[in-house]
Structure 1
Amino acid sequence: MADESYNVPNLADGEVFRVEQTIKRSRFITSVGRTDSVESAKAFIEKIKTEFADARHNCWAYCAGAAGSSDRVGASDDGEPHGTAGRPMLTIVTHSGIGELTVVVTRYFGGILLGTGGLVKAYQSSVKMALETLPIRKKVPVEVITLSIEHRFINQFLRLLEDFEGRVLSKEFAMDAEFSLEVPRDRADDFCKKIEEVTAGSLLLEREKRAES
């Protein structure tokens, strides 16, 4: 099975990662956020534009889906000459190997014109500089499983869950032991087969696919 995991910014909701550089007296402030939807990407962009409302340009690019995907992307030059900011930034974003990523580069003009080539280089280098030090983590698609087993199988179940790199989300003990758990999606089939073997089929099991946040 193909690996469905990919890197995402290791940032909390609303958290901003930021770097800055100066090129020919123009300040380029790069703000990065984790955004897992087009709506959250646009909200992040508006947040940064409001923060730097006095800046001449707040150029942006985002990839709101998996790393390298092209179905939820966007970019804007925000007043810079056409093709000198947003699209070059998006090229860096989509080839970074990082998904759910929005980048806004704020420019305070320093009085010296950079030219079209200079602008492309400045905006791309600003994004590259941010991504070089951006904290990231791997997003692993998981499957949520609801399981009801006899109490005598609990210890075997917990050892098996650890072997398959899963974790318990919730548990309840009544006549049987009921667990809600998640297991990496690419290992879920094998886990379910193994727990059925351990319990000799005396269990209730429901499966639900989702992606880890």
Structure 2
Amino acid sequence: MPCTLVTAVHSELLIRKSRFIGCVEPVADRPAALARVAALRAQHPGAAHVCWALLAGGDSAAVDDGEPGGTAGRPMLEVLRHQDLEGVLASAVRYFGGVKLGAGGLVRAYTDTVAQALLGATKQPVQRLQTLRCIVPYALEGWLRRELDAAGAGGLQVSHGMHVELQFSLPEAAAGALRARLDDGGQGRLAWMEPV
């Protein structure tokens, strides 16, 4: 099961006079990752490279930022994949120390920077959410809201018209059981619709 990280974790390595500052952190998508990388560039204006890798479904990316192709971003991405992580940004800021490391040395340096940070990371399973939408008579609104609170549903959106329309999200694993319980309790007066 894929995991994400609870909080950001940092590492720092000194390899042949070059300083590598690593960070692994939970990030939802590419725009959030790009904002984080921009903040790192601003925080480290004297750095030679700010390389990064993002593993977040279709938003995944690997960026070498001026290092020889495939020596920074891709190895960092492979470390994240090997750890079965999802929604995680790995970044490495390099201050060049004057000694060239070669392609193999760069791959090892960036891999070790991310792996070192992950040693101190706390992981948690990724919970996929399912969105459900239903319509109920006004008489059932209070009961339904109590059921949703008890189930830990979030993102509740309610609209009132001829009936009460509710849309909410909860972990995929719990969605089927809640839907069955609501069908029983609603005694046929609850109608399911496609989420919007």
Q: Please give the range of the TM-score, normalised by the shorter of the 2 chains.
A: 0.7 to 0.9
- Is the partner of 1:129 in helix, strand or coil? helix
Runs of 4+, deviation exceeding 6 Å: 149-157, 176-179
Q: C-alpha distance in 1, partners of 2:122/2:178?
A: 31
| Unaligned ranges ≥5, structure 2 | none
Q: Which residue of 2 aligns with 1:32?
A: 24
Q: Partners in 2 of 1:32 and 1:74 — Cα distance?
A: 14
Matching of residues 65-104 of structure 1 within 5 Å = 65=57, 71-104=58-91
Measure how far apart 1:153 and its partner are.
Answer: 10
Distance 1:123-1:208 versus aligned 2 partners, 3 A rule: same
Cα deviations by residue, 1:91-136 (Å, 9 ceiling, x for unpaired): 1123221112222111112233323222211110101111222233
TM-score normalized by the length of structure 1: 0.71
Counterparts of 1:8 and 1:182 in 2: how far apart (Å)?
20
Q: Deviations over 1:1-38 (max 9, x none)?
A: xxxx6322324xxxx54221222232110123333222
Shift of the 177–24 alpha-carbon distance from structure 1 to 2, 3 Å rule, reads same
Q: How does 1:1-213 map to 2 (within 5 A)?
A: 6-11=2-7, 16-65=8-57, 71-146=58-133, 148=136, 158=146, 162=150, 165-167=151-153, 181-206=168-193, 208=195
Q: Percent identity?
A: 28
Return the alpha-carbon distance in structure 2 between the equivalents of residues 79 and 182 of structure 1: 42
Find the residue that maps to 1:30 and give its secondary structure: strand
Larger helix percent = 2
Instruction: Give me the whole-angstrom Cα distance separating, in 1, the residues matched to 2:64 and 2:168.
Output: 45
Matched to 1:107, the amino acid is R
CA offset digits 1:174-210 (Å, max 9, x no partner): 9x9986653322332332223222332233555638x
Over 3 Å counting, the alpha-carbon distance change for 1:160 and 1:169 in structure 2 is: closer
Compute the RMSD of aligned alpha carbons.
3.3
Deviation at 1:158, TM superposition (A): 5.0
User: What SS is found at the alignment partner of 1:20?
Assistant: strand
* Distance in 1, Cα, partners of 2:148 & 2:52: 46
Cα separation, 1, equivalents of 2:26 and 2:4: 7
Count of residues in correspondence between the two structures: 193
Q: Verify the 8 A CA contact 2:9 2:118 in the aligned structure 1.
A: no
Query: Could you report, residue by residue, the CA deviation over 1:58-114 in whole angstroms, capped at 9, with x for unpaired residues?
Result: 12211232xxxxx43222222223322222112112322111222211111223332
